[in-house]
Amino acid sequence: MKTLLLALVVVAFVCLDSVYPLNCFQCNRKTLSECSKAKKCQYKRSKCYTSYQSDGKWAVKGCAYTCPTEGSDKSLRCCNISECNND
Q: What is the pLDDT of residue 10?
A: 43
Looking at the chain, which runs of residues are DSSP E strands? 23-24, 27-28, 39-40, 47-52, 58-64, 75-79
CA distances from 72 to 28, 53, 62 (A): 19, 10, 20
Q: What is the DSSP letter of 34?
A: G
pLDDT-derived band at 62 (thresholds 50, 70, 90) equals very high
Q: When comparing pLDDT for 28 and 64, which is higher?
A: 64
Q: What is the pLDDT of residue 74?
A: 82
Q: What is the pLDDT of residue 61?
A: 94
Q: What is the pLDDT of residue 56?
A: 81
